[in-house]
Amino acid sequence: MGLRSRFLIVVIGCLLLVSCADEEIKKRDAQVFRYNEHANITTLDPAFAKDLRTIWATNQLFNGLVQLDDELKIKPDIAHSWTISDDAKTYEFNLKNNIKFHKHSLFGKDSTRNVIASDFEYSFNRLIDPNVASPGKWVLEYVERFEAKNDSTFVINLKQPFPPFLSLLSMKYCSVLPKEAVDYFGDTFRANPIGTGPFQFKLWVENTKLVFRKNTTYHEKDKNGYKLPYLEAVAITFLPDKQSEFLQFIQGNIDFMSSIDASYKDDLLTTDGKLTDSYKDKINMVTGPYLNTEYLGVYMDADEKEVHSKKIRQALNYGFDREKMILYLRNGIGTPAINGFIPKGLPSFNNMKGYTYQPEKARELVKSYIEETGNLKPSVTIGTNSQYLDLCEYIQRELEKTGLKVNIDVMPPSTLRQVKVNGQLSIFRGSWVADYPDAENYLFIFHSKNFSPNGPNYTHYSSKEYDALFEKSIQIIDNEKRHVLYRKMDSLVMESAAVIPLYYDEVVRFSQKNVSGLGINPVNLLSIKMVKKE
């Protein structure tokens, strides 16, 4: 055999090795789900899972007594069943006996142990411990006491009936933690999480990359009996720029992207909210209702005397076209909020005839206000951040056609939150995203006991009739009867025009063509345990 022949054999062999290596890399890569979190994650401790980015991450690592499915129905998680007493104040949960914590040397020679009821007792006590200062302690405000009856039974007693309570328990705040790990890691448990979820913590280079690996002892199976999760790993990057995130997604370097941004929305979507021709055959897009109401809130105790007038507040509601606003400024993503404050996606959604676009009526209301008060140049000021400036400028242009001058005060999000809480804005741009899937979550913010700065009633709306209905509703167990009262309360708020609902948001998810099982739900919870990559 000549030198040339031997050389060719070596070259071909090397090429085959490289090819095999490339195939192996592709195979491994196909088992990793990759997404970017442009807003940085600061903790992996579920007691501090107060924002969506932290909820998404901790949802892969931890479990609670119950969980929500994509239709927002309560399903078993670590509890396989439960009973509720006739007075709806005692909940008794029966735990599965095969739930194991993630493997770690802290658990001794077996490297893990089963979850027992006292672990929930510990985790709930930690949640309400003032030294921990969890922002989620409010979840247990209706709870009088809780205890581990035995290793497999956990009992919770409420101070009074509270129908949405099971929904509250599905929140990541109520996850189960091992005392050994929290005691050992102390304050650094935030970066050394140990839970029971479908994935377990592997690596965190803060501001750069976060990696979870498959939990091989995870308890859930699919409908065919196959163990979950399907994937080997989850990799999260932290590119802060949404345009860069979009480019990474289009190049196939990440598998999933949520929501849209002004920097690329016109490139990605048509004006009616469909994928443009450039992308419709390359990526998948799904949308669904999101339990998020975007609105303008009116501070009823403001110094700006115009907002004390119901006529001006109603003119604000009638004076702009929400459908046109969604079409041209949101590329069709969202539903015009013409029905009430409770968003679409909840069974108690109020199908009332609310504030539609009636410019002539708005002009008449402003004219009537001028004649009554002698204030020839009425004006209002809207406080917002830069992200929503285009919406506020559109409303400004439309309302000035009615004879009402609108000023816009743009400020950083942190400043906006502060001045809103302290009642320093007559009108503010706000969002209300549901913490749990019950309309009580939207209605309690108008209860007079929740006036800011001590509560989330930033409008200082007050009504004795509303308060009485609210206090009655949260003690009614029958869902339909409770929903009737919810709709009545929603109508009272809208009749007062204390808020100007803009739109009910939508969950928008983009994924690569080889991704399946991602799902979509109205609380925009990211669940990766059912995801497959081809």
Residue 347 — pLDDT band, cuts 50, 70, 90?
confident
pLDDT > 90 in the chain, percent = 85
What's this model's pTM, rounded to 2 decimal places? Answer: 0.86
**CA distances to 27, 290, 514, 527 from 31, in Å:** 7, 29, 11, 16
Is pLDDT above 80 for 292? yes
pLDDT value, residue 477: 87
Considering only 157-166, 187-196, 257-266, 364-373, which range has the smallest mean pLDDT? Answer: 257-266
Give the residue from 374, 372, 368, 394 showing the smallest Cα distance to 315: 368
3-state secondary structure at position 141: coil
Q: Mean pLDDT across the stretch 230-238?
A: 98
Q: What are phi and psi of 341, to 5 degrees?
A: -90, -30
Q: Is the peptide bond before 453 cis (omega within 30 degrees of 0)?
A: yes
Using 50, 70 and 90 to split pLDDT, how confident is the model at 201?
very high
**Which residues contact residue 508 at a Cβ distance below 8 angstroms, ignoring those fewer than 6 apart?**
258, 259, 260, 285, 286, 287, 333
State the average pLDDT for the chain. 93
Nearest Cα neighbor of 239 from 39, 517, 522, 393 is 39
Q: What is the pLDDT of residue 337?
A: 95
Structure tokens at 151: 């290793």
Q: How many helices (H) and strands (E) does the chain have?
A: 15, 19
| Residue 24 in this model has a pLDDT that exceeds 80 | no
Angstrom distance (rounded) from CA 188 to CA 41: 14
Q: Give the tens place of pLDDT for each residue, 390-414.
A: 999 999 999 999 999 999 999 998 8
Mean pLDDT for the stretch of residues 173-184: 97
3-state SS, 161-222, equals: CCCCHHHHHCCHHHCCCCHHHHHHHHHHHHHCCCCCCCEEEEEEECCCEEEEEECCCCCCEC
Please provide residue 302's backbone torsions phi and psi, each rounded to the nearest 5 degrees.
-70, 155
- Parallel, antiparallel, or unpaired for β 153-158 and 90-95? antiparallel
Which residues have C-beta within 8 Å of that of residue 216, sequence separation ≥ 6?
none
CA distances for 462 relative to 187, 302, 430, 455, 459, angstroms: 42, 14, 19, 13, 9
Range ranked top by mean pLDDT from 5-9, 174-178, 453-457, 519-523 = 174-178
The SS3 of residue 159 is: coil
pLDDT digits (tens, 9 = 90+) for 127-144: 999 999 999 999 999 999
405 phi and psi angles, rounded to 5 deg: -80, 135
pLDDT in tens, 306-319: 999 999 999 999 99
Residues 471, 62: Cα–Cα separation, whole Å: 34
The residues facing 498 across adjacent strands are: none
What would the mean pLDDT of 82-109 be, rounded to a whole number? 95
Asked if 47 and 173 touch (Cβ cutoff 8 Å), the reply is yes
Q: Which three-class secondary structure state does DSSP give residue 47?
A: helix
> Which tens digit of pLDDT belongs to each residue from 447-481?
999 999 989 999 999 999 999 999 999 989 888 99
**Cα 209 versus chain centre, distance:** 22
**CB-CB contact of 246 with 269 (8 Å):** no
By 3-state DSSP, what share of the chain in percent is helix, strand and coil, each rounded to 5?
A: 35, 25, 40
User: What's the confidence (pLDDT) of residue 262?
Assistant: 82
Amino acid identity at 82:
W
Whether the pLDDT of residue 86 is over 60: the answer is yes
Q: What is the pLDDT averaged over residues 34-60? A: 95
Task: Give per-residue pLDDT as tens, 365-382.
Answer: 999 999 999 999 999 999
Report pLDDT for 259.
85
pLDDT of 37 above 70? yes
For the stretch 148-157, pLDDT in tens is: 999 999 999 9
pLDDT for 8 beyond 60: no
Q: Which helix (H) or strand (E) covers residue 454, if one does?
A: none
Is the pLDDT higher at 14 or at 439? 439
Q: At 533, which amino acid appears?
A: K
Asked whether the predicted pLDDT for residue 352 surpasses 90, the reply is: no
* Residue 434: exposure state from Cβ atoms within 10 A (0-12, 13-18, ≥19): buried
Beta carbons within 8 Å of 384's beta carbon, 6+ residues apart:
391, 392, 408, 409, 410, 411, 416, 428, 429
d(CA 532, CA 229): 9
pLDDT at 16 over 60: no
pLDDT in tens, 254-281: 999 998 888 898 999 998 899 999 999 9
Q: E-strand spans in 370-434?
A: 379-384, 405-410, 427-433
**Structure confidence at residue 159 as a pLDDT band (50, 70, 90):** very high
pLDDT of residue 25: 46
Three-state SS at 275: strand
Mean pLDDT of 3-27: 55
Confidence band of 44 (pLDDT split at 50, 70, 90): very high
Q: What is the mean pLDDT of residues 489-503?
A: 97
Residues with Cβ < 8 Å from 425, sequence gap 6 or more? 299, 302, 381, 383, 409, 416, 419
CA distances from 63 to 96, 145, 149, 175, 189 (A): 12, 21, 20, 5, 16
> Minimal CA–CA distance to 404: which of 375, 447, 443?
375
**Residue 193 or 5, more confident:** 193
How far is residue 482's CA from residue 472's CA, in Å, rounded to a whole number?
A: 9
Tell me: pLDDT of 20 over 80: no
